[in-house]
């Protein structure tokens, strides 16, 4: 399973990259706003800075909601750097734009996916990635992980190449469960990734080894 970090914070991206397990980055307008970035030039420069920090795909979301606007924005984003993936909302014009970009060989990430039907449509439109938001489904007492399993089953039935990018990952067990279900990618916060390495028996075992090593 690929590990993407879900942030626009350069320090966190750098830290995750230094760990040596990072395969890419996802951003969204809320995450960009959180970093205080505004204005097209600044936004574009920030995407370029992220691409320089990591080796993998970097999802950059369009803000338009009509086909022509999405195409214009997506083309400008894709021209910024070869690692840019055009992130499109799961709406009618988003699906049309997804087909447009996949026909041109430009990578896409269809976002805000909350049902198997939406994921099926994204795959039919040739999406590189589909982003089901598991945390937001959990937030409304729905089983986000169950959706990942259902999409896995449908995609495997027809050998769709669209990668299931489990998004809205909130904690470490989401990552473990996504890996068990067979998500191709997960995107989450650095804290959730770092949580994977923690175990009290590792800490106490190391403390004992270091203590005993004093007698060597
Ligand atoms: C996915 O690409 C989104 O950026 C993200 O995972 C949303 O997560 P949230 O529900 O924690 O905001």
The Cα–Cα gap between 51 and 170 comes to 24
Q: Whose CA is nearest to atom 5 of ligand 1?
A: 168
The Cα–Cα gap between 92 and 70 comes to 12
Q: Whose CA is nearest to atom 11 of ligand 1?
A: 168
Enter the tokens of residue 71. 């195409």
Q: What's the gap in Å between 31 CA and the centre of ligand 1?
A: 9
Residue 124 bears catalytic tag: no
Confidence band, pLDDT 50/70/90 cuts, at residue 209: very high
Question: In CATH, what number is assigned to the domain containing residue 31?
Answer: 3.20.20.70
The Cα–Cα gap between 91 and 67 comes to 10
Please tell me if the CB atom of residue 7 comes closer than 6 angstroms to any atom of ligand 1: no
**102-144 tens-digit pLDDT:** 999 999 999 999 999 999 999 999 999 999 999 999 999 999 9
The Cα–Cα gap between 46 and 56 comes to 16
Q: Whose CA is nearest to atom 6 of ligand 1?
A: 168
The Cα–Cα gap between 193 and 87 comes to 23
Range of the domain at 29: 2-214
* C-alpha gyration radius of the chain: 19
**How many domains would you assign to the chain?**
1
Confidence band, pLDDT 50/70/90 cuts, at residue 161: very high
Please tell me if the CB atom of residue 111 comes closer than 6 angstroms to any atom of ligand 1: yes
Q: What's the gap in Å between 53 CA and the centre of ligand 1?
A: 20
Confidence band, pLDDT 50/70/90 cuts, at residue 33: very high
**66-101 tens-digit pLDDT:** 999 999 999 999 999 999 999 999 999 999 999 999
């Amino acid at each position: 399973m690929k590990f993407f970090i879900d942030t626009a914070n350069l320090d966190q991206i750098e830290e995750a990259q230094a760990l040596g397990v990072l395969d890419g980055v996802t951003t969204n307008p809320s995450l960009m706003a959180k970093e205080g970035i505004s204005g097209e030039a600044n936004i574009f420069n920030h995407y370029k800075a992220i691409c320089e920090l990591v080796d993998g795909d970097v999802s950059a979301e369009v803000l338009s909601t009509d086909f022509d606007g999405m195409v214009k924005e997506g083309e400008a984003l894709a021209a910024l750097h070869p690692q840019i993936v055009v992130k499109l909302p799961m709406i009618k014009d988003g699906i049309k734009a997804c087909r447009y970009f996949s026909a041109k060989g430009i990578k896409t990430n269809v976002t805000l996916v909350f049902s198997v039907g939406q994921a099926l449509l994204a795959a039919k439109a040739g999406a590189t990635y589909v982003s089901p938001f598991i945390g937001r489904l959990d937030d409304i007492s729905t089983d986000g992980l169950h959706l990942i399993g259902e999409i896995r089953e449908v995609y495997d039935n027809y050998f769709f190449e669209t990668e299931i990018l489990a998004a809205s990952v909130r904690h470490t067990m989401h990552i473990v469960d996504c890996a068990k279900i067979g998500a191709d990618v997960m995107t989450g916060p650095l804290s959730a990734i770092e949580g994977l390495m923690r175990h009290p028996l590792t800490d106490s075992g190391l403390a004992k080894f270091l203590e005993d090593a004093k007698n060597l």
